[in-house]
Amino acid sequence: MSDLDFVDFIYDPVWKNIPITKIEKEIINSEIFSRLKNIRQMSLASISFSGANHTRYEHSIGTMHVIYLIASKIKDLKENAERILKTEYNIDNGYSETLQFIRLAALLHDLGHPPFSHAIEWVFERNPELFPGKNYSHDIYTRELIKRNKELKDILKGKKILSPQNLALFLAGKLDEIPKPITSLYPLLNGDLDSDKVDYIIRDNYHCGLPVNIDIYSIMDSFEIILNRKKEDTNHSNINIMFKPEKLFVAENLLLSRKQLITVIQQETNNRIANQMLMASTQTFLEEKKQNKETKEYEQLIQDFHEKWTDYDLVSNITGISLEEENQSNLLSRVIKGNLLIEIMKIEVVDVSPKERLEFYLFAKYKERKNDFQKNINEKLKTEFLIDFVFINPPPLTLKLIYDYDEIKASKEYDSEPLTFALQSKSNVVDGILKDSFTNSFIAIYGENKEVDISKIRETVIDELQNQNEIIRKNLIENRIILAEDLILLSLAAIRDFAKDKYKLSRLWATGVGRFQKFINRLKERNDIECRDLKSLTEDYSSEFDVLMTKLVSLGLVDQRKKHVSIKIEKEEKFDYKYIDRSDYCLNSNGEEFVGKLPKEYQIIRKNLYNLLQKNHEIYDNYLSKDFDIKDTLRQKNLRPELENKGLPIIDI
């Protein structure tokens, strides 16, 4: 890795010596980048974890170092970069130019973060009216800052590839105008296993006194990165990141470290309370500014918020308004004095009935309704509670193990059912982390004291949750939209109806997650209604759909069974067997009760599918297993194409 000319080193507690180039040194020493020294990486986590005072500054430098180490492992990158950049841009040192570009993109990726990092981002996400634009993201300001900032322009002046414009386009994911194969490296900065995630998972745990049993070199040794060239474009490539089967424990450790960061650190009680108080104070501050300023003045304030302000600037502006007042508008003063609110109660998803659990996750998708939720609760109870909605995103599972080509043959033979190259199908640890992410969410109530009627608060919160979800679904119906969870549950309800009415069975199983995904994909296309959650779904196995089914199982609405299936494949003029753990699904009584309460506008999907199943019952009469012997298997294999051609689900007893 001597393709870059390093001129200095930065000592880092996580990665030790980080080499830097002349351009990087100039950017790191610039005023615009130095601002990140005063923006804490983990907001107010230091209230509970004294070492959590690290900033976006060292995280950005660490991300630059990690992306360099990972990119250096890509096979054929050097040859492709040298050839393409020489041919198309007349650049002799194409590989070093590519590495320098990706390092700078990583170095600058958090340049537009607001004070206190993600805590303040959540204020804009919950209050879209406070953001002078659409679809808030700090990345918007990062890109604009890179393009406009005079310091960066001067440092990168005359650079053909390393221009501010190209860096901004790359960070925006607008890759058409970016030289190839630089575009192929985008997943290393914005993907399931990207340099940003690797650095903050290890760095945040380290500074909170919970170091992880993993390092960058063990991570690098655990996977292979292959540069795949598309047939239709000889100069365009994409990368596949795949774990070695014998190094699966590294992937497990990485996901366990992510879980530790979330459950032990981010969800620690005082950390949560302090951040909610910070957010409430910031919201009040911005509401007052928006009300008292002209539109252009307010827009400039929000721009400065992301480009100039530090944590100190935000604290001084908010607490300077009414330092002695301890009300909703100045909760931040209380945080600084150590006078936190207390957690009055916590309603965990596992503490409510299964038919109510999905309502937690539906509401999580619509952050802009959380203020109305909190306002209505406080009006009904005559309180001034802060309400915190804690939902865990499932771990990234599009990562796969290096393929066993015999398993690929078996997969094709068995309708593209996912095999052991899917992490969760190979590892009980990963599967457990995935399921736990859906059952470890909760709603927390913060206030002054616990001398309140807990049962009344709980009842009011659950009722308001249902009311808000009714409003959300009403808006969805008006716009001809359906949630993926609702579509799946309605289809399983139709299969359950068919089982009871036609065969007097309590259930029939939709067989195989891959097959069921194909069916749902065709079902959404057949109905005159939009399902945005499944917009990118195809008939190829999708880990996102697999995760969605795991979610419905974990919440107790769908039952799952595992069937050990043997597949006969031809191998070197002989026959061999591969084995699959096939997942089958059916709606249970909790799911039936949930579906029964869905709006009548959605029930038409259930009715239409039921009618289609009844119309084609003769095929199912022949298809359904009778004796579970080899004759059944062969008969079903011959009938499956007919079922799929008619848009019917593959089901069995």
CA dist., res. 556 & res. 568, Å (int) = 35
Query: Per residue in 560-614, pLDDT tens?
Result: 998 877 766 666 666 666 677 788 999 999 999 999 999 999 999 999 999 999 9
By residue count, the chain amounts to 653
Res. 462: pLDDT tops 50: yes
Instruction: Give 217's contacts (C-beta < 8 A, 6+ positions apart).
Output: none
Range in 42-51, 336-345, 411-420 with the lowest mean pLDDT:
411-420
Walk me through the domains of the chain, giving residue ranges and CATH numbers. Answer: 6-266 (1.10.3210.10), 480-652 (no CATH)
Per-residue pLDDT reduced to its tens digit, 366-377? 888 888 999 999
Give the residue with greater pLDDT, 248 vs 8: 8
Residues 511-539 have a mean pLDDT of 84
CB within 8 A of 507, min separation 6: which ones? 496, 499, 559, 586, 587
Q: What is the pLDDT of residue 571?
A: 64
* Mean pLDDT of all residues in 39-63: 96
Higher per-residue pLDDT: 122 or 329: 122
In which band, very low, low, confident or very high, does the pLDDT at 234 lie, cut at 50, 70 and 90?
A: very low
**Whole-number pLDDT of residue 324:** 47
Which residues, other chains included, contact 165 with Cβ-Cβ below 8 Å and sequence gap of 6+? 147
451 pLDDT band, cuts 50/70/90, is confident
More confident position, 183 or 215 = 183
CB-based contacts of 423-430 (< 8 A; 24+ apart in sequence):
423/243, 423/248, 423/251, 423/397, 423/399, 424/397, 424/543, 424/546, 424/550, 425/581, 426/245, 426/248, 426/401, 427/248, 427/251, 427/252, 429/252, 429/255, 429/256, 430/251, 430/252, 430/255, 430/395, 430/397
The pLDDT assigned to 2 comes to 52
Q: For residue 69, name the pLDDT band (cuts at 50, 70, 90).
A: very high
Q: Which of residues 532 and 443 earns the better pLDDT score? A: 443
* Helix (H/G/I), strand (E/B), else coil: 600: helix
The letter for the amino acid at 280 is: A
The least confident of 96-100, 248-252, 625-629 is 625-629
Among the listed residues 553, 552, 558, 524, the one whose alpha carbon sits nearest the alpha carbon of residue 538:
524
pLDDT for res 218: 84
**What is the arithmetic mean of pLDDT over 143-171?**
92
SS3 641: helix
**Which sign, positive or negative, has the C-alpha torsion 94, 99, 105, 108?**
negative
239, pLDDT greater than 60:
yes
| Tens of pLDDT, residues 384-394 | 999 999 988 88
Tens digits of residue pLDDT in 475-490: 999 999 999 999 999 9
Q: What is the pLDDT of residue 629?
A: 54
Residue 374 and residue 26: Cα distance in Å, rounded? Answer: 47
If you average pLDDT over residues 297-311, what whole number do you get?
A: 92
Report the predicted TM-score, pTM, of the whole model to 2 decimal places: 0.89
**Residue 1 predicted with pLDDT over 50:** no
Least confident span in 89-98, 356-365, 512-521:
356-365
- Residue 540 binned pLDDT confidence (cut-offs 50, 70, 90): confident
- pLDDT mean over 418-432: 74
Name residues whose C-beta falls within 8 Å of residue 556's C-beta, 6 or more positions apart in sequence: 354, 357, 588, 590
- Smallest CA-to-CA distance from 620 within 540, 505, 514 is with 505
pLDDT bin (cut points 50, 70, 90) of residue 147 is very high
Query: d(Cα 490, Cα 600) in Å, to the nearest integer?
Result: 11
Predicted confidence band at 326 (pLDDT cuts at 50, 70, 90)? very low
- Confidence check: pLDDT of 235 > 80: no
